[in-house]
A and B are shown apart, each in its own frame.
Chain A
Amino acid sequence: MSAPTPLSGDSAAPVQSLYEARKNIHVRSVSGRFSTWRWALVWITQAVFYGLCWLPWNGRQAVLFELAERKFYIFGLIFWPQDVFYLAVLLIIAAYSLFLFTAIGGRLFCGYACPQTVYTEIFMWIEEKIEGGRNSRMKLDAEPMSARKFGLKAAKHGIWIALGLWTGFTFVGYFTPIRTLANEVLSFNFGLGPWETFWILFYGFTTYGNAGWMREQVCKYMCPYARFQSAMFDHDTLIVTYDAERGEPRGARSKKQDYQAAGKGSCVDCGICVQVCPTGIDIRDGLQYECIGCSACIDGCDQVMDKMSYPRGLIRYSTEHAMQAKWGNKEVFAHVLRPRTLIYGVILALIIIAAGAALALRMPLKVDVIRDRVEQAREDENLMIENHYRLQIMNVSEVPQHYLIDVSGMAGIFIESERSVVIPPLTTQSVSVEVHVPPASGKKGYNRIYFAVKSLNDERIAVREKSNFLIP
Chain B
Amino acid sequence: MKQLTWVLWPSFVVAGVAEVLFFTLIDPQQLYLFGEPVDWSRMTIYSLGFFALWATCAGSSMLTCFIQRDAAEVNSCLVAAACKDRVALRR
Contacts and interface: CB of A to CB of B under 8 A. Distances in A.
Interface of A: 1-2, 4-13, 15, 17-19, 67-68, 70, 81, 84, 87, 176, 192-193, 195-196, 198-199, 221-222, 224
A87 B43 contact: no
Given A7-B75, A84-B25, A68 B42 contact: yes
Interface in B2-34: 2, 5, 9, 13, 20, 24-25, 27
A19 B25 CA distance: 40
Q: Secondary structure at chain B's binding surface: helix, strand, loop or mixed?
A: helix
Given A195-B43, A198-B47, A222 B24 contact: no
B38 interface: no
Shortest beta-carbon contacts, A-B, top 3: A13-B76, A195-B43, A12-B80
A314 B54 CA distance: 47
Contacts, number: 68
Nearest to B13: A224
A7 B27 contact: no
Contacts of A84: 24-25
A231 to B, nearest CB: 19
Interface string B36-64: 00000111101100000000000000000
A10 B44 CA distance: 52
Contacts of B42: 67-68, 70
A428 to B, nearest CB: 11
A9 B73 contact: no
A19 B47 CA distance: 34
8 contacts: A2-B70, A4-B70, A5-B73, A9-B79, A68-B43, A176-B43, A193-B41, A195-B46
Interface of B: 2, 5, 9, 13, 20, 24-25, 27, 41-44, 46-47, 68, 70-73, 75-77, 79-80, 83
Nearest to B43: A195
Nearest to B28: A70
A87 B24 CA distance: 10
Given A68-B42, A192-B43, A221-B5, A12 B24 contact: no
A381 B3 CA distance: 75
Contact of B2 (A5, A17, A196): A17
Contact of B72 (A5, A18, A68): A5
Contact of A18 (B2, B25, B44): B2
A12 B70 contact: no
Contact of B79 (A2, A10, A17, A193): A10
A176 to B, nearest CB: 8
A11 B80 contact: yes
Nearest to A199: B47
Nearest to B20: A87
Contacts of B41: 68, 193
